[in-house]
């Protein structure tokens, strides 16, 4: 029970968001400045201004939106970007519902803010569906909430929706194009093209912040370093193409056996690192042994059998990043000295 609670706490409040390829560095930067701009502008533009104009409903809804944006800021500081952007878009939705409730039709132009923010913060697919649902919602609310004649409601709705749909389409195609270019650049900069593992630069960049959080919040992190035994002999005997296929197959075995929150890294040549968040060395050792056996039992086409040596360690009191990496490297080479195809722990 205690372990499950710790995992939940880690996943919600500590773990940096691992949301997949849609959450690009561009979106991270935009999320940050969207939160900051909203935090400082809503009190003046949406709350005080509408209080002065006597539009109390908009002011009340905007106050709620400001609280939601503040919660978003907290999650952003905790690096839980999934919750951060969810609260941002909920805040935008809240303000726009306030405009509907207030029934000030000349403010309906602000509805285009929803698809714009959605396409900036979310993938084009999610943002498109969110925009469609929001468009249906404002149409339903307008027809059900207010007592105007039907023809006047229809006039307001169609006037807003024409411009709204145009903005949705523009944002969709622009976002789709931007995503494709951003993802290509991101993969080229952070991943090894052969194995799909992260490169050393990306690992060190992310590991610094993860290392500091682990020390501050006192949760375990472990490193597993492994090296393919006699890989030079594989290349010399069967050729580099066969060696590349061995690397690809081993990388797939590793990815199939680690969690999404773990980080798989090509450290150099035939040497790899698995960074295991919220995992002590006992759990890391179990994983390493499982992967070792799977690789040992796999037939690699023309090469046949291949074995791998593993070193495992966890963060200890007083560790620095350098001595943690040095220790896992030393324990890996101890495994190789003791006969290879084994897991050693320090």
> What are the Cα distances from residue 64, in Å, to 39, 97, 143?
12, 11, 24
Is 270 designated active site? yes
CB 176 within 8 A of CB 124: yes
The three-state secondary structure class of 209 is helix
Neighbours of 288 (CB within 10 A): 27
Task: Decide the pairing of beta strands 221-228 and 263-268.
Answer: unpaired
> What are the Cα distances from residue 110, in Å, to 40, 60, 98, 153, 167?
18, 17, 11, 17, 12
Token representation of residue 30 = 């935009």
CA distance 189 to 166: 35
Walk across the sheet containing 308-314 and list its strands: 263-268, 271-277, 221-228, 308-314, 343-345
- Using a 10 angstrom Cβ sphere, with 0-12 exposed, 13-18 middle and 19 or more buried, the burial of residue 58 is buried
Kind and range of the H or E element at 299?
Answer: none
**Catalytic residue of the set 66, 179, 210, 270:** 270
- For tokens 């690699």, the residue is 300
The three-state secondary structure class of 228 is strand
CA distance 263 to 277: 8
- Name the residues annotated as catalytic: 270
């Amino acid at each position: 029970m205690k372990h499950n609670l710790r995992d939940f706490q880690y996943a919600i409040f500590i773990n940096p968001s691992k949301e997949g390829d849609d959450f690009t560095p561009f979106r991270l930067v935009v999320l940050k400045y969207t939160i900051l701009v909203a935090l400082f502008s809503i009190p003046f533009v949406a709350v005080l201004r509408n209080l002065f104009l006597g539009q109390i409903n908009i002011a009340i809804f905007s106050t709620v939106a400001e609280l939601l944006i503040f919660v978003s800021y907290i999650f952003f500081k905790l690096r839980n970007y999934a919750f951060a952007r969810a609260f941002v878009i909920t805040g935008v939705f809240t303000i726009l519902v306030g405009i509907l409730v207030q029934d000030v039709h000349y403010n309906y132009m602000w509805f285009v803010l929803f698809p714009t923010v959605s396409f900036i913060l979310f993938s084009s697919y999610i943002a498109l569906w969110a925009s469609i649902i929001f468009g249906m919602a404002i149409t339903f609310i307008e027809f059900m909430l207010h007592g105007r004649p039907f023809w006047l409601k229809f006039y307001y709705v169609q006037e807003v929706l024409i411009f709204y749909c145009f903005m949705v389409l523009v944002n969709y195609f622009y976002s789709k194009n931007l995503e494709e270019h951003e993802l290509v650049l991101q993969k080229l900069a952070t991943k090894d093209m052969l194995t799909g593992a992260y490169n050393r630069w990306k690992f060190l960049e992310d590991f610094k912040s993860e290392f500091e959080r682990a020390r501050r919040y006192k949760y375990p992190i472990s490193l597993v370093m492994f090296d393919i035994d006699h890989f030079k002999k594989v290349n010399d005997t069967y050729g580099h193409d066969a060696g590349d296929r061995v690397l690809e197959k081993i990388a797939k075995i590793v990815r199939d056996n680690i969690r999404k929150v773990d980080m798989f890294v090509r450290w150099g040549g035939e040497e790899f690192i698995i960074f295991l968040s919220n995992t002590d060395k006992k759990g890391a050792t179990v994983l390493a042994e499982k992967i070792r056996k799977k690789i040992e039992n796999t037939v690699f086409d023309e090469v046949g059998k291949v074995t791998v040596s593993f070193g495992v360690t966890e963060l200890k009191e007083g560790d620095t990043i350098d001595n943690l990496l040095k220790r896992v490297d030393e324990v890996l080479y101890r495994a190789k000295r003791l006969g290879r195809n084994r897991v050693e722990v320090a």
